Structure 1
């Protein structure tokens, strides 16, 4: 099963070799979905913080049928050569959004954290009630062998200026951390 490569075979073999050895770039992949835009605001602030520290960042909005986004297979390709993954989701019925749950399930199956170069990660999100998505995402990251740092970040409803500043600082913190690994 899978794709049959007729060209760029050397590039493909190198990519698979690097993935299997856990070769990572100074890159942070931010993976998220949103319902009403709050999680998008947080993802953007985190990405700005990562860039402020000079690290590469990929922001991946998961596809959910309402609008065009990034398929989880493409997201995992970004995660495999990243030193960090940050997962964001609003809470829906005490859970991460279904698109985020599907991505996390896929990531757990691949267990990229079992490779020689440990990845770090954290979670962020928004909620209108009790929350729950951030803790669930962190548990899934741990199950994938990813070292969870920072203890999660969530806001109630839409983020205000102070919360966006905290999201920005989270991005800076993660970018500084990957420099030491």
Structure 2
């Protein structure tokens, strides 16, 4: 695993980049084959230092503080700001306090409760509009709860126009060294950002939109955005913000996602037929529920106009891997404003059609009717009828795109 490293991102402002290539799952749910980065920051006036966040407990405390010791004595860290108490940002806080000289720890009121409960750490509570001083420098406190926990705040360094944005503007992917947004393939990076949004932040997307509106309403024009995961933004802030706003609104592209499960190959055959129909009209994203990457699935749902679900019956019910995906969509409310089609294959009865339809409605989808149910694989005339059904579904899904 690459070592933590420092990079200057402004006048006496440092980015402490902590790459994690050891963890295979984020939140122990979401696959991160490219790892993830934890970002902490240091702000100084040349005398005292403010540390913003720490790291997940994936490394020894001495590995975390080694880069800091290259620029200052740890006793000069007089203040620490906790933007968000989730353990991927606060996991080393207790050990860090033992290495420093009783710095003041700042947090929101809700974060204060969490820090006491999780680590028995007392904090000085700050609220929206307060400031934290670092010598003659000032950081504004901007409370923005539910991005994606109820404890979150941003900080804004006035003299450098740097916004420390916690989990907003984040992305997956570990960094071998700290780089800015204009020092990598930004298009590829945005795939990681979209997957991070879909899996981690999407449930609270309305709060993200309010955060963007609040930043604008305060008249802030950050030149740099420093998130808790991913790269620091300086050249692509407008592009990133535009994409983030689109994801928050679940804006639709000419795209249909097909999610299927199969036990013996027949349902997969039907999914291939559906894909051929869709590809004549729109982009098709196809996922086998058994071995799919959940990040990719939810990311595709975000900007799809419609979703086709094709499931075999399993002991009278929906195929379990499909239930798992739909339950995650339900948590994220990713079906809002979108339409879904349900297709069931079976040899005998069951409740799969109604069961899946209700789960999808609970996820925010409008469910297209009638639901298609086929015994074994559709006969040729049934397949023609199914093709017509899919064409009508695509018409409805793409109607306003």
Q: TM-score range by the shorter chain?
A: 0.7 to 0.9
Whichever structure has more strand as a proportion of its residues is: 2
1:57 aligns with 2:57: no
Contact kept? 1:50, 1:56, Cα under 8 Å: yes
Q: Distance in 2 between matches of 1:15 and 1:49?
A: 29
Structure 1 match to 2:144: none
Q: Which runs of 5+ in 2 are unaligned?
A: 1-25, 28-35, 38-170, 176-183, 194-239
Q: Distance in 1 between matches of 2:301 and 2:370?
A: 20
Moved more, 41-50 or 140-149: 41-50
Q: Distance in 2 between matches of 1:151 and 1:159?
A: 16
Q: How does 1:126-145 map to 2 (within 5 A)?
A: 126-145=345-364
Q: Encode CA deviations 1:83-135: one digit per residue, 9 max, x unaligned.
A: 10111110011111111110011111111234xxx101111020111032222
Q: Distance in 1 between matches of 2:244 and 2:324?
A: 23
Contact kept? 1:41, 1:159, Cα under 8 Å: no
1:35 aligns with 2:260: no
Contact kept? 1:24, 1:81, Cα under 8 Å: yes
Structure 2 match to 1:92: 314
1:167 aligns with 2:390: no
State the 1:15 CA deviation. 4.4
1:108 aligns with 2:330: yes
State the 1:37 CA deviation. 1.9
1:123 aligns with 2:351: no
Matched residue of 2:317: which SS?
coil
State the 1:171 CA deviation. 2.1
Moved over 6 A (4+): none
Relative contact order, higher structure (CA 8 A, sep 6+): 1
Larger Rg computed on CA atoms: 2
Contact kept? 1:121, 1:149, Cα under 8 Å: yes
Matched residue of 1:91: which SS?
strand
Contact kept? 1:45, 1:167, Cα under 8 Å: no
* TM-score of the aligned structures, taking structure 1 as reference length: 0.84
Structure 1 match to 2:396: 177
- Number of paired residues? 172
Contact kept? 2:305, 2:398, Cα under 8 Å: no
Whichever structure has more helix as a proportion of its residues is: 1
Structure 1 match to 2:22: none
Q: Distance in 1 between matches of 2:346 and 2:333?
A: 28
Q: Which runs of 5+ in 1 are unaligned?
A: 64-68
* TM-score of the aligned structures, taking structure 2 as reference length: 0.40
Q: Distance in 1 between matches of 2:294 and 2:267?
A: 18
Contact kept? 2:270, 2:377, Cα under 8 Å: no
